[in-house]
Amino acid sequence: MDRRDLSSLVVLPTIEDVAWEAVGADVTIVAAKLDVPDLVELVKTILEHDTDILTIVEDVFDLESFAPSLHAELDAAAVVAGRSVVATGVQDIAWSGLVAQATGMQRNLRSIRLKQHLGVDGYPREFVEWIGVGLSGEAFDAAAEEAGKTPSVFGAILPVLVRRLGLTPVEESREMSPYVIDEPVDSITLERTIRPGDPVGRRDVVTVRTAEGVDLVAELVTSALMGQDDFHAVLDGDPRVEIDHRLVPGSPAVDATTVNRIPDVIAAPPGLISTIDLPAPRFRPRITKESVRAAAALTQAER
């Protein structure tokens, strides 16, 4: 199908309606935002139809750290099916990949500090209130307590970086607090103005300390402020390195990342594979059998 022509796009109500033999898919992209147990069951069902899987559900990016039993279950299912499952997205490119490559410029590394702002006004009310927008006092504390039961989207990158750099984690902590400013903010989702001093979002900070003395800190601010999305990384070492990235609109970047990863996931060995174990992602003018074979050769060489 021509990517510019959606006239032949078919939308089916359930996965059971997919005629898998007729489709003959090499790769299936799972973009549905589901709770992790439900997602695992969905992916296991898809694996029964002889296809590799890419997902943009961020909770799978570091499934091994926060849900080891589900990680083992999904990895085993992929191995039995002889297929690979990979979670990708912005975290694949900027949050882990770019930062990991930048450490290659360091002689001595003392700490890595990551900071990200994401504006989410316009998202569903349930999500906006879940991150504390417009809440105060006990209501904010209750929302933060509930959020603490799920993995930190940005903090999930730290264990991946730790593994990539060969460091040994010895302590991890997490702190959530209101994000406030001194100006009123008009919220599209809440259909009201948030008063100065009331939370316009939440700050979520995860810290990992390692036996090698390298501290990693990730701070994610999710708020109702739009047009201010950026990513900042500071590698405190010799030399000191700073990375500033003004984010492009999220969806096009995630879409492109997913498509460009297709040859890598097809070439990957069976199992639930971390992107840190794959070649560095790159732009691909065309995805062909030749590009898949080249990706397989590079993956084998790097292993």
Q: Categorize the per-residue pLDDT at 1 as very low, low, confident or very high, splitting at 50, 70 and 90.
A: very low
pLDDT for 43 equals: 93
For the cut 80, the answer to whether the pLDDT of residue 66 exceeds it is no
Rounded Cα distance, 229 and 119, in Å: 6
Q: Reply yes or no on whether the pLDDT at 33 is more than 80.
A: no
Q: 5 pLDDT exceeds 70?
A: no
Residues near 252 by beta carbon (within 8 Å), at least 6 away in sequence: none
Residue 255 has pLDDT above 50, yes or no: yes
For 146-187, what is each residue's pLDDT tens digit? 888 777 777 778 888 898 899 999 999 999 999 999 999 999
192-242: per-residue pLDDT in tens? 999 999 999 999 999 999 999 999 999 999 999 998 888 899 999 999 999
Percent of the chain whose predicted confidence (pLDDT) is above 90: 47
pLDDT of residue 201: 94
Confidence bin at 2 (pLDDT 50/70/90): very low
Which amino acid is present at 94? A
CA atoms within 13 A on the CB side of 52: 21
pTM for the full model? 0.80
Which domains are delineated in the chain?
Answer: 15-88+261-302 (no CATH), 94-248 (3.30.360)
Evaluate whether 168 touches 233 at the Cβ level (below 8 Å): no
Q: What value does the mean pLDDT take over residues 97-103?
A: 89
Spatial separation of the C-alpha atoms in residues 36 and 155, rounded to whole Å: 17
Give me the pLDDT at residue 237, please.
93
- CB-based contacts of 101-105 (< 8 A; 24+ apart in sequence): 101/280, 102/233, 102/235, 102/241, 102/243, 103/165, 103/235, 103/237, 105/235, 105/239, 105/241
